[in-house]
């Protein structure tokens, strides 16, 4: 099993392509923010289908096609054979960048999508936003400012017990105890710019896809970061 080394180091944001279906429009949107492309296993097939050659392919290679493998330069292939983690987890622990924009990690299978959310929490020191066709998801950093338009839907879902404070939400979260088997924060509303602060790296933020540029900029500008577990 490969250790927790770093395969990809970039000073700028990275687009990470997963195995679920992606559109040319969503790929272009991600690459406008994160021009460096990495693929998780069969995500390389999706990248090649859209005319993009990833600088690295990371995974157990159980779904990358033979044609895709042949089309990729050998030095870009980084197989990790162990089966104790998902390909997304393998990528997150081996990519060092200021932000990872993940596409192709939602919509196809619910179990894979839930596993991706688990990975966000397992690697809180890696800033990552998962961009889907209708929504985006990211782990809230210790403090975050989102210049959202009034009426924007803001959902908060805890992956473990966590508390927080907010400004700019229709229903403030101050003093509330969140837990996956208790209180959750779905379908809140921004009254304008939103400020959030969390006590632990356990809260997922879910926004409409249209807020992607705002969310990516906010994550890049957030000064406080969670430490590695």
CATH code where residue 157 lies: 3.40.50.10240
The reply to whether 17 and 50 lie within a common domain is yes
Residue 83 lies in a domain: yes
Average pLDDT of the chain? Answer: 95
Nearest to 196 by CA among 157, 166, 176: 166
Do 13 and 104 lie in a common domain? yes
Spell out a b/e string for 136-174, using b for 16 or more CB atoms within 10 Å of the CB, else e: bbbbbbbebbbebeeebebbbbbbeebbbebebbeeebe
Please indicate, yes or no, whether residues 126 and 143 belong to a single structural domain of this protein: no
Q: What is the pLDDT of residue 116?
A: 96
The answer on 127 and 18 residing in a single domain is yes
- Domain extent, residue 162, equals 135-223
Whether 111 and 165 share a structural domain: no
229 assigned to some structural domain: no
- At residue 2 the predicted structure's pLDDT band, cuts being 50, 70 and 90, is very low
109 pLDDT band, cuts 50/70/90, is confident
pLDDT band with cut points at 50, 70 and 90 for residue 82: confident
- Do 169 and 127 share a structural domain? no
Does residue 38 lie in a domain region? Answer: yes
* Together in a domain, 22 and 120: yes
Looking at the fold, whether 86 and 12 belong to one and the same domain comes out as yes
Q: Is residue 3 part of a domain?
A: no
CA atoms within 13 A on the CB side of 128: 28
97 and 24 within one domain: yes
124 and 150 housed in the same domain: no
177 inside domain: yes
pLDDT digits (tens, 9 = 90+) for 129-157: 999 999 999 999 999 999 999 999 999 99
d(CA 149, CA 211): 9
pLDDT score, position 5: 67
Q: How many independent structural domains does the chain possess?
A: 2
Looking at 133, 149, 170, the residue that finishes a domain is 133
The answer to which of 12-26, 84-98, 101-115, 168-182 has the lowest mean pLDDT is 101-115
Predicted TM-score (pTM) of the model is: 0.95
pLDDT for residue 97 is more than 50: yes
Six-digit token string for 148 = 């959202």
Helix, strand or coil, per DSSP, at residue 212:
helix
Domain boundary residue among 70, 105, 133?
133
- Among candidate residues 102, 133, 164, the one where a domain is terminated: 133
């Amino acid at each position: 099993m490969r250790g927790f080394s770093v395969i990809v180091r970039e000073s700028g944001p990275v687009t990470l392509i997963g195995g679920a279906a992606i559109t040319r429009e969503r790929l272009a949107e991600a690459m406008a923010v994160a021009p460096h492309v990495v693929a998780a296993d069969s995500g390389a097939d999706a990248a090649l289908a859209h005319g993009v050659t990833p600088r690295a392919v990371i995974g157990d290679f159980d779904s990358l096609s033979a044609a895709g493998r042949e089309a990729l330069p050998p030095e870009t292939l980084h197989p990790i054979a162990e089966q104790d983690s998902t390909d997304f987890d393998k990528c997150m622990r081996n990519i060092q960048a200021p932000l990872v924009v993940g596409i192709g990690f939602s919509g196809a299978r619910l179990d894979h999508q839930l596993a991706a959310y688990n990975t966000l929490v397992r690697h809180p020191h890696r800033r990552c936003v998962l961009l889907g066709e209708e929504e985006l998801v990211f782990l809230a950093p210790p403090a975050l400012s989102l210049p959202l338009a009034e009426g924007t839907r803001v959902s908060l879902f805890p992956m473990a017990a966590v508390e927080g404070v907010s400004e700019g939400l229709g229903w403030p979260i101050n003093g509330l105890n969140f837990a996956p088997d208790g209180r959750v924060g779905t379908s809140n509303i921004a009254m304008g710019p939103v400020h959030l602060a969390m006590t632990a790296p356990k809260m997922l933020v879910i926004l409409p896809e249209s807020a992607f540029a705002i969310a990516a900029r906010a994550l890049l500008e957030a000064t406080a970061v969670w430490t590695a577990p």
